[in-house]
Structure 1
Amino acid sequence: MPVNISASSGERNSPASHIRLVVTDMDGTLLTPEKQITPRSIETISALHAAGVPVCLVSSRPPAGIEMYLDAIGLTTPYGALNGASVYNADRSIHTQLTLPPDVISDTLDMCNVHHLDTWLFRGHDWLIKNSAGPYVATEKRVIRQEPVIVDNFAEHMSGIGKVTGSSTDYTMMHDQELEIGRLMEGRASVARSSQWYLDVTPLNANKGYALCKIAEMYSVAPHEVACIGDMNNDLPMFDKAGLAIAMGQTSPEVMAQAHYITASNSQEGWAEAMRTLILPRAVSVEQKQS
C-alpha cells in the first residue's frame, strides 16, 4: 500500500547518507497495535540482512519480552532491554548492565506512592510487583508472556534493579509526572514515558541512546552510521545519537520534531515502508565497514 513519508519540520543536522546498522523500538514501532510483526516487516528485515545491515531491538521491555520475538523475526543480533539499562549479546548473555542506587529507588517509590502510581521493579529477568490487581498487570503479563514475582514489600529487593516503572490510567497525570519526577531526579536517573500509561526510571546513563552506542560499538560502527526509529519520549535519546532518526506517524509533535523523517503509523506498515524507502537505498554492509 502507498505510504507517505515526510521530512520533519524540526531543526536537525542532515540525515546520514550511508547506514550500516538499524536500531528499532518495538511497541508502537516495529509491533502493530496488536503486538504483532507483519509479514512485510519480516520480509524487510530479511532484505536488510541481505544488504548487510543488522537490525537490533532496543525496548523498555524486560529481556523476556524482547526474546520472545527474536526467533519469530529470525534475529540473531544484540538487543537492549529496560530502556538500555541492560544490553545483551546475540547469544542472550549480558554485555553491559547498569543498576539504580537504592536511594534513587526509594525516592522514586515515594514519589510514585504520593501520586498513586502502581509501581514495579525489574531486575535481570525478574519482574517484581506488590499489587497483583494493578491496572496494567494483566496486560503486561500477556504482552511479555511472563509471570511477575509478587513480594510483600520492595525494601528487601533494592539491589540490582535496572528499572522502576510507575503506571496509571490517568494519562494527563502521567505526562505531568514525567516532568515532575524528571526534575526531581535530574542528575540522578533517566526518566521517560515508554507509553501513555508507563513512566520508567532507569540509571542515569541508561537510555536508548546509550544502548544504541553500545550496540554500534559491537559492530565497530559509528553512531552517525546508525538509523533508529521510534514513537515515544524514551526514544529521543537514540534520536540524538543516530545519524538518521525516524518517527512513527502516530507519535506526538514533540517526538516528530526531533526526527529527520516521519513515516506512517504502526497500523499502516510505517516501519517497513520507512526501511524500504529511507534505509535500503542508503544501506552499506557492516562487513564492508569491518573489512
Structure 2
Amino acid sequence: MKLIAIDLDGTLLNKESIISNENRAAIKRALDAGILVTICTGRATFDVKELLEGLDIPIIAANGGTVHDKGYSLISRTLMDQEAGKAIADYLLSKNIYFEVYTDDHLLSPFDGESKLQAELDILRSANPDENMDELWKGAMTQFKQFGIKPIPHIESIFDGSENIYKLLCFSFDMEKLRHAKEELKHHKKLAQTSSGKHIIEILPASSGKGRALTELAGKYGIETQDIYAIGDSPNDLSMFEVAGHRIAMENAIDELKEKSTYVTKSNDENGVAHFIDQLLSGQYA
C-alpha cells in the first residue's frame, strides 16, 4: 500500500484557502486506486474536517499534535507541557506578539488580536511604503477565518486549566519581534519551533512534529518508508520529507524543500497536488 501525505496551506489549498475541484477529484482517484491519503497540517483537526467537507481520510493536525484515523477516531495525541507553554505565552504577551492556542475544540486568540496586527501593519506601512499591504493583510486574515477560532479576554489563563493544548502559533509583521521570540524559544527544552510562513512561528511540544506523526500512521497500516509520498511547501514540512521515500515539493515551495525533493510539481494555484497524483497513477512518476 502507498501513503500520500498532503500539507494544506500553500499545498492542497489555493490562494483563496480552498480545495479546488481538481485536487478533490484527484484525491478520490487515489483512494479508488487503493492508496491511503492523509492530510498532514499545522491546522487543527476540526478546521481540517470543515475544509474536507465529508472526505473521510486520516488527519494529522497541529503539526503532529493529533493523529486521527478514518472516521475521526483518535490514534494519538502529543500535548504541550503546561508550565513550558505558560512561560512562552507570558513572554509573547510581554512583547505584544499575537498568538493563538490550539486545543481540542477551539483556536483561542486574544480579543485584541486583529487590532494588534493592524497596528503593526500601520508601522510597517510607514517604514516600507512599497510593500504590498493588501497581500500582507490577506495573509493575516487567514488566521481569523479558520473554523473554530474563539477570541477570549485572558488567553494566558488557558494554561491554568485542564484543557489539552497542542500548539501555539505566533503571527507578527515585526520581523525583529519574531527573531527575538525564536531566540527565547531556544531556552525552553520541552518546546520546539517551526514555521509555515514568513510571519509565523509555530511552537510545539519537543516530541511532536509532522514526521513523527506520519511515521506513526504509516506504521499502523504497515507502510514502508519507500511507499510514503509527502507533499509540501514550507519549513514545517521538512520533518515529513525526512521520513518519506518520495518527497514532492510544490513549485511555490521554499528552496530547502525543493533541494530535498524527488519531484517538483506545479504550484498550489495550478492544482499541483492533482498534477502529481495523476503522474503517480499514470506511471509517469517512477
Q: Give the alignment's Cα RMSD to 1 decimal.
A: 2.5
Structure in which a larger fraction of residues adopt helix: 2
Equivalent residue for 1:207?
Answer: 209
Identity in percent: 23
1:190 and 1:282 map into 2 onto residues whose CA distance is 38
Decide which of 23, 35, 38 is 1:53's aligned counterpart.
Answer: 35
Equivalent residue for 1:29?
Answer: 11
* Aligned counterparts, 1:234-245, within 5 A: 234-245=236-247
2:43 and 2:268 map into 1 onto residues whose CA distance is 18
Equivalent residue for 2:22?
Answer: 40
Give secondary structure in 2 for the equivalent of 1:196. Answer: coil
Decide which of 106, 110, 121 is 2:86's aligned counterpart.
Answer: 106
1:206 partner amino acid: S
Equivalent residue for 2:2?
Answer: 20
Decide which of 78, 81, 86 is 2:58's aligned counterpart.
Answer: 78
Equivalent residue for 1:154?
Answer: 156
* Aligned counterparts, 1:253-264, within 5 A: 253-264=255-266
- Unaligned segments of structure 2, at least 5 residues: 118-138
Contact 1:118 1:131 in 2 (8 A): no
1:174 and 1:247 map into 2 onto residues whose CA distance is 29
Equivalent residue for 1:140?
Answer: 143
Equivalent residue for 1:231?
Answer: 233
Contact 1:174 1:199 in 2 (8 A): no
Is 57-66 or 40-49 further displaced after alignment?
40-49
1:97 and 2:77 equivalent?
Answer: yes
2:263 and 2:185 map into 1 onto residues whose CA distance is 27
Give secondary structure in 2 for the equivalent of 1:125. Answer: coil
Q: CA deviation at 1:176?
A: 3.2
1:213 and 1:118 map into 2 onto residues whose CA distance is 32
Equivalent residue for 1:267?
Answer: 269
Equivalent residue for 2:171?
Answer: 167
1:97 and 1:85 map into 2 onto residues whose CA distance is 5
1:119 partner amino acid: F
Between the two proteins, the alignment pairs up a number of residues equal to 261
1:66 and 2:70 equivalent?
Answer: no
Decide which of 160, 181, 184 is 2:187's aligned counterpart.
Answer: 184
1:180 partner amino acid: E
Give secondary structure in 2 for the equivalent of 1:64. Answer: helix
Equivalent residue for 1:220?
Answer: 222
1:88 and 1:109 map into 2 onto residues whose CA distance is 27
Equivalent residue for 2:130?
Answer: none
4+ aligned runs moved over 6 Å, structure 1: none
Equivalent residue for 1:249?
Answer: 251
Q: CA deviation at 1:182?
A: 5.2
Give secondary structure in 1 for the equivalent of 2:5. Answer: strand
Gap change, CA 1:157 and 1:115, over 3 Å in 2: closer
Equivalent residue for 2:124?
Answer: none
State the TM-score, normalizing by the size of structure 1.
Answer: 0.80
State the TM-score, normalizing by the size of structure 2.
Answer: 0.82
Contact 1:30 1:41 in 2 (8 A): yes
- Unaligned segments of structure 1, at least 5 residues: 1-18, 284-291
